[in-house]
Structure 1
Amino acid sequence: MIYLLIVNVSLIISFVLYKLIFRRLTFFQWNRIYLIGMSIFSLLAPVGIFIELPKTELISKHLVKIDLGTYVDIGIGSSIEQPLFFLDIIVKIYWIGVILACLFLMVRISYLFRVLRSSPDHLSFSFFNRIVIGRLTYNKENIAWHEQIHTEQGHSYDLLLIEILKIFNWFNPVVYFLQREIRFQHEYIVDEICSADKVAYAEMLVAHALRTDQLVFSQEFSNHSFLKLRIRMLFKDKSNPRQRLLYVTVLPMLLLITLSTLVFNTSRAKGMVLAVESGVKQVATFDHQTYPPKQTKRIHIQSNEQSDTMPFDQVEVKPVPERGMQSFMIWVGNNFQFPKQAVEHDVSGMIEVNFIIEIDGSLSHIKVKKDLGYGTKEATLKLMERAKRWKPALVGGKPVRVAYTLPIRLNLAK
């Protein structure tokens, strides 16, 4: 989710820069390189956030290996209806859109191949290394030259990249505008090469457009929707060569995004990313207010003084650390103080700590149910007492107390 967000924000910023600065320039090849380059950069730049960069320092400290989970009530003979979360709906809608986009692309490619096997009357286009010239088309040599330039410059590869980009970013309208602009630049590039006589070339475009149909996912010689812009660009005065320096303005943005990737490639930043995702996952759009009666086998702690504590599996909204469970895991791993005796004896195993999550999110009644000895119990209590407040559990929109069992797996073996 975070990856898609970063990719699409980068695409939007890149396209806005293109519309404001570069689109009016007649450096068509440079515009093509910018649009394709920024599309690829937008896809690759966020990847660095999720890749562990090699560390140059030698770390001699034993790191804790953590396996966090929850020991909750286990139903016997009946199931609990689970709440429907907002993120689950969004994810399902997203993948349905991806599947539909794939099917739509397959249909268009299938139609294109049918046209390739036929002999169209007036339709002329190129698709990768394949060139089709309509049987009844005039000026076949000029049109063939036009399409040959498309194939030599690999314009179909650009369109294929954008089609793939559209599949996974179908919800972003900027992607569709981006595809249209790339097709414009393709035609401007070829028109500039082929239009020795601009008036005659423009007349040929108009004449050909009056007898052709639009074909998607290919390079058509004359497209109705592009015709006016192409003719206007033919007669437009060329941009001053010095204006190429405007493309240098992209470098600070590239540098900023690259530096941001390096900054975010830290445990703390990754914890923030995971916290955002965990926070979104906790937004429930629908919860069942009642649960069927059932017998349960409980392994969390309850006592007379904790009679108002709800079972973990019967709350509508589960408790969660403020920045999400994954972020909490990172915090535990970074802050667990290993007792000297535990390190000397290479202690490994599971520690179980029980506590109550109060209605204000604070942790109380912290007890170590199972420890490994050698001071691990005291270290665990000291750690959990420093833990920040959680988001409390909710029932009927009101916070409730919940008992929680947290297993922490230590691995101090050398």
Structure 2
Amino acid sequence: MITYLLKSGLLLAVFYIVYKILLENEKMFHFNRIYLLASIVFSLTIPLQLFSLGSVFSNGNQKIQLNQIMIVTSKAVLDKINYSQILIYFLAVVYGVVTTILVVRFIRNLFSFYFRMKKSKVEIVKGGKVVLTKEKVLPHSFWNIIFINQEDFENDMIPEELIVHEKAHLKQKHTVDILFVEVLKIVFWFNPLYLLYEKAIKLNHEFLADEAVNKKFGEVRNYQNLLLDFVSHKNTLPLASNLNYLITKKRLLMMAKEKSPIRMILKVGSVTTVYVLLLFVFNTEVIAQSSINAKNQNDYKISYDTTSVKEPQFPGGIEKFYMFVGQNFKMPTEFAKQKMEGKIFMEFMVEKDGSLSEFKIVKDLGYGVGDEAVRVLKLSPKWIPATENGKPVRVTYNLPITIQAPK
């Protein structure tokens, strides 16, 4: 999980940097909207390795290097493991509490629109549903509804440009983008990159709505002045598309900026290249490492450096395989008497039917340690075999085992 989060975060950062450098200042708002949303989706899915490019370069039998299994009897390691488990439980509780608080806040914000609509006057204005609220707020929209201050509306103080601006938000379904990011912010609240994406997406929404207004009225200068007149209003809602969201110099300048088709084509090409490269780099077969610990049947402490491998798979995962080895490994008596320690290297084949074969002791310590490792591997249940292009293939595993006799 940690490896997945790190990869996902790295992809989010790379895509965001590319956006800031190449796209943010370009007048290609529809493409930018797609890019920002696609970047989030890619960052969440690519690390899952739903498919792999590694088979393109395979040449028959593949070989996978496993990290070591360490069989020791150190009490210090046991104490360390207990602390690690306590830390994991503590972090899980913190995550659950924070996530629960964020979910409650999110639901409360959603229901706030419903309650405001129930206690306010609703009218149909030019084919759109408008809720007239008593709160002094700027025009804003959510889902398929525009919220406007009742007093300002009845006194004709709401310019038509502002209504068109909010209708553009509704027509282009900007609320869906906001809700999507809000949900991700709840799940991944510890990742500040989602805040940056939310800010970029909302600002791009304003660019799109401003563009719709200027296309209809064609009076950029008047519209800019109109926005500046409303900039002092600060009462907004977090899930709504708000008129005054980041009324900055950049947004005002963007309205009058000219498009450059050649530059846009070059930047789209550059962005596409980045996507392809990242897809290739992150979706080839990558080894991810973690650590677990357990005891075998002889009460020897076993510290595992595990490897998460997609193909093939031991029933229950590679961690279960390491536990299987540890639980079945019996320290040879003579080796224990000598109070020795060292590392052996084993090699075995996972066949097309999932059975293990071709056991080989690459490096032994003597005293029957290598033979004991072979005996344990022969006890292994069948694995889920590796596949290439839908067909089972044989895969060789290299397994180092560090053994420390009790002292």
Q: What TM-score results when the alignment is normalised by the length of structure 2?
A: 0.63
CA distance in 1 between counterparts of 2:21 and 2:373 reads 63
CA distance in 1 between counterparts of 2:12 and 2:168 reads 28
Alignment correspondent of 1:83: 82
**8 Å Cα contact 2:231/2:244 also seen in 1:** yes
**8 Å Cα contact 1:352/1:368 also seen in 2:** no
Q: Cα distance, 1:176 vs. partner?
A: 0.5
**8 Å Cα contact 2:70/2:303 also seen in 1:** no
Alignment correspondent of 1:22: 23
1:253 equivalenced with 2:268 (yes/no): no
Larger fraction in strand? 2
Alignment correspondent of 1:388: 400
Paired residues, what number? 306
What does residue range 309-348 of structure 1 map to in structure 2 within 5 Å? 311-312=299-300, 318-320=302-304, 323-324=305-306
Alignment correspondent of 2:168: 149
1:136 equivalenced with 2:118 (yes/no): no
**8 Å Cα contact 1:71/1:299 also seen in 2:** no
Amino acid at match of 1:111: S
What does residue range 214-293 of structure 1 map to in structure 2 within 5 Å? 214-223=236-245, 225-235=246-256, 237-245=257-265, 246-264=267-285, 269=286, 272-273=287-288, 276-278=289-291, 281=292
Alignment correspondent of 1:187: 206
Q: Cα distance, 1:14 vs. partner?
A: 0.3
Alignment correspondent of 1:171: 190
Q: What TM-score results when the alignment is normalised by the length of structure 1?
A: 0.62
**8 Å Cα contact 1:353/1:370 also seen in 2:** no
CA distance in 2 between counterparts of 1:176 and 1:91 reads 22
Q: Cα distance, 1:18 vs. partner?
A: 0.8
**8 Å Cα contact 2:138/2:235 also seen in 1:** yes
Q: Cα distance, 1:244 vs. partner?
A: 1.1
Q: Cα distance, 1:88 vs. partner?
A: 5.0
Q: Cα distance, 1:13 vs. partner?
A: 0.3
Structure 2, unpaired ranges of 5+:
62-68, 74-78, 121-132, 316-326, 345-364, 380-397
Q: Give SS of 2:229's match.
A: helix
Q: Give SS of 1:204's match.
A: helix
**8 Å Cα contact 1:133/1:140 also seen in 2:** no
CA distance in 2 between counterparts of 1:152 and 1:325 reads 49
CA distance in 2 between counterparts of 1:388 and 1:136 reads 77
Distance 1:141 1:92, change over 3 A: same
Alignment correspondent of 2:385: none
CA distance in 1 between counterparts of 2:308 and 2:196 reads 37
Alignment correspondent of 2:405: 401
CA distance in 2 between counterparts of 1:54 and 1:16 reads 28
Amino acid at match of 1:34: Y
**8 Å Cα contact 2:233/2:244 also seen in 1:** no
CA distance in 2 between counterparts of 1:51 and 1:218 reads 37
Q: Which moved more, 1:207-216 or 1:16-25?
A: 207-216
CA distance in 2 between counterparts of 1:191 and 1:331 reads 53
1:124 equivalenced with 2:139 (yes/no): yes
Structure 1, unpaired ranges of 5+:
62-68, 74-79, 283-297, 301-310, 334-350, 378-385, 393-399, 404-414
CA distance in 2 between counterparts of 1:221 and 1:299 reads 67
Q: Cα distance, 1:213 vs. partner?
A: 0.8
CA distance in 2 between counterparts of 1:369 and 1:210 reads 75
| CA-atom RMSD in angstroms | 4.1
Q: Cα distance, 1:152 vs. partner?
A: 0.7
Q: Deviations over 1:84-120 (max 9, x none)?
A: 2155554544444433332332233233433344413
Distance 1:319 1:21, change over 3 A: same
Q: Deviations over 1:10-56 (max 9, x none)?
A: 11000001111111112222211211121122122222x25689999
Q: Give SS of 1:388's match.
A: strand
**8 Å Cα contact 2:51/2:283 also seen in 1:** no
Distance 1:174 1:71, change over 3 A: closer
CA distance in 1 between counterparts of 2:373 and 2:9 reads 47
Distance 1:167 1:238, change over 3 A: same
Q: Deviations over 1:134-175 (max 9, x none)?
A: 213323433222111111111111111111221222222221
